[in-house]
Amino acid sequence: MDDSAYVIAFAALTGPLPKTGVVVVAALAAAVLLARDRRIRAGAMLGALVLSPVLLLTDIWSSPQLSIVHRHPLEAVVGAAFIVAALVGAAALIVRRQWLVAPLAVFALPFRVPIATGGTTANLLVPLYFVVAAGALAWIYGALRSPASPSPPRPVSLIDWVVRLLALYVVLYGIQASYSDKFEQALQNMVFFYVPFALLLALLRDLEWSRRLIRDCLRVTVALALVFSFLGFFEYATKTIILSSKLVVANDLHTYFTVNSVFLDPDIFGRYLALVIILLAVTLIYDFPERLQAAVAVVLAVLWACLVLTLSRSSLGALLVGLAVLAALRWKPGRALVVAVVVVALGGAAVAVSPTTFGLNQGLNGASSGRGGLVSGGLSLFGDRPVWGYGSGSFVTEYRAHNRLNATSLSASHTIPITVAAEQGIIGELAYLAFVITAIVAVVRRSRGDPVRSAVAAAFIALVFHTLLYADFLEDPTTWVLLGIGLALAAAPLAPQEPAAERPVYSGVV
């Protein structure tokens, strides 16, 4: 191949092809969510699994982290073959035990691996990607082996609207990446988050959620939360941060000490603990055995103590919201309101005793760690381009450019609806709000008096609240896991004719 051919190929791979590819892979993710025919969905899954890494390689092909691939292509091919073989082996195991996808995904949720991509370091969920890819391959194998049969027509339900609106938002995100000045960020968000998590949601939604499966997933989550909490206690006792160099610097600059365990970010760690506390707290307000309630109370005390050490005000707020939702779904709204007032009063008293701990002596913007300025700056960006925005993934770049900030200044999004408005304008904001509102209604509906549905609904709403104060909503796999389980729970009622320990409590919608 002569030099001109190389130039043409490079121009295509760095120009229109990646932008077209992002739109195509977004459409494939939408098809995975929407297709009722199993073979069509299998084809969309396979296309997404193949195209996503191809797009990523076009983005980072010339980056230093791939220099070993250029210098040692044979070793790279052998490594890729080994990964593919491991995926096939894991998929073969899941083919025989489809339910394994759920506990494996729940186990992999917290683990992030720092990897340099596109000139920056991203904390990627590599173990979860492996689980999703293996689960998708198993699903594809089962779909292609099953006889083709058209899905019977059925009325469009609220669950269908949730999935449709989510698919619409993903496609809009891909389209609006095409005019973004930070296209590389939008591409990475698509291939690292939206596409694999859409596959994960589809896999979870189609499982039959037995009491045993729900209990196993909760046990995995609680065990992880306890391990991470003890790591947090170790950090606090030794004043040593395990992973995050940024948090080491932040702790050196303040009189207080914040822990993050394995999450690289204390607010994400706090969010995780708050959600686990909400999922467990449901056992204390429903009629569970006293021995179980006593054990749960001990676990809650441990998780709460570590949550306090994160000093994550957004997570504490999310916890209060989740507990209030649990109370409202268990008791009459009036009684739940009394509980909420008492909890808020206790929280207010704690803040009044030590206002400097929560930064209230620094004013509203200081107490919110600069979030007030981010909100006003995001609204200003939205005012400049109210209809279509600046493009997917562009908030940080545009915020810094409009406010003349350097690369180290605080400018990452901490209020997701504001970010969506700035990046995607009214077009994306309406799709986003419609999806969130419909999803909340779907997971809350029919959850009153049901501890499992109530716990998932409360955790999902708490997560939504957290995104009003901090980053990551659809970029957090927990969102997709809670939504996938919540939609499966909402799809079917209890099956009373089967033994309580084994019966499929809820089954997903294909």
Are 126 and 227 in the same domain? no
507 in any annotated domain:
no
Q: Is the pLDDT of residue 509 over 50?
A: no
For residue 168, what pLDDT is reported?
Answer: 97
For the beta carbon of residue 141, count every other beta carbon within 10 angstroms.
16
Binned at pLDDT 50, 70 and 90, residue 73 comes out as: confident
Which strand (E) or helix (H) includes residue 272?
helix 266-285
Query: Most confidently modeled of 210-214, 434-438, 491-495?
Result: 434-438
| 244 or 258, which is more confident | 258
Output the average pLDDT for the chain: 83
Q: Do 380 and 284 have their domain in common?
A: yes
What does each C-alpha distance from 157 to 89, 168, 206, 496 come to in angstroms?
37, 17, 16, 23
Specify whether 267 is located in the same domain as 153.
no
User: How long is the chain?
Assistant: 510
* pLDDT at residue 62 in the model: 62
Nearest Cα to Cα of residue 41 among 185, 193, 237, 206: 206
Of the candidates 407, 503, 406, the one whose C-alpha atom is nearest the C-alpha of residue 452 is 503
Write down the pTM of the prediction: 0.86
Say whether both 301 and 379 belong to one domain: yes
Q: Return the pLDDT at 136.
A: 96
Residue 190 in domain: no
pLDDT digits (tens, 9 = 90+) for 193-223: 999 999 999 999 989 898 899 999 999 999 9
Please check whether residues 243 and 112 belong to one and the same domain. no
Q: Under 8 Å CB-to-CB from 500, ≥6 apart: which residues? A: 211
Pick from 72-81, 168-177, 470-479 the range whose average pLDDT is largest.
Answer: 168-177
Residue 37 lies in domain = 3-167
Do 90 and 222 have their domain in common? no
Whether residue 411 has pLDDT greater than 60: no
Is 148 in the same domain as 218?
no
192 found inside a domain: no
In the structure, what pLDDT confidence band is assigned to residue 161 with cuts at 50, 70 and 90?
very high
Within a domain: 172:
no
Asked whether residue 505 is domain-assigned, the answer is no
- How remote is the C-alpha of 295 from its chain's centroid? 29
| 177 within domain boundaries | no
187 in a domain, yes or no?
no
CA nearest neighbour of 338 among 324, 321, 326, 351: 324
The whole-number average pLDDT for the span 284-310 is 94
Q: Note whether 143 and 225 are same-domain residues.
A: no
Q: Which of 167, 189, 221 is the last residue of a domain?
A: 167
Residue 274 within any structural domain of the chain: yes
Say whether both 156 and 219 belong to one domain.
no
**Average pLDDT of the segment spanning 437-446:** 94
214/159 same-domain check: no
Report the domain count for the chain. Answer: 2
Local confidence band at 361 (pLDDT 50, 70, 90 cut-offs):
very low
Q: How far apart are CA 473 and CA 415, in angstroms?
A: 10
**Do 353 and 473 sit in the same domain of this protein?**
yes
pLDDT at 20 over 80: yes
> Do residue 217 and residue 306 come from a single domain?
yes
- Give the mean pLDDT of 94-101: 94
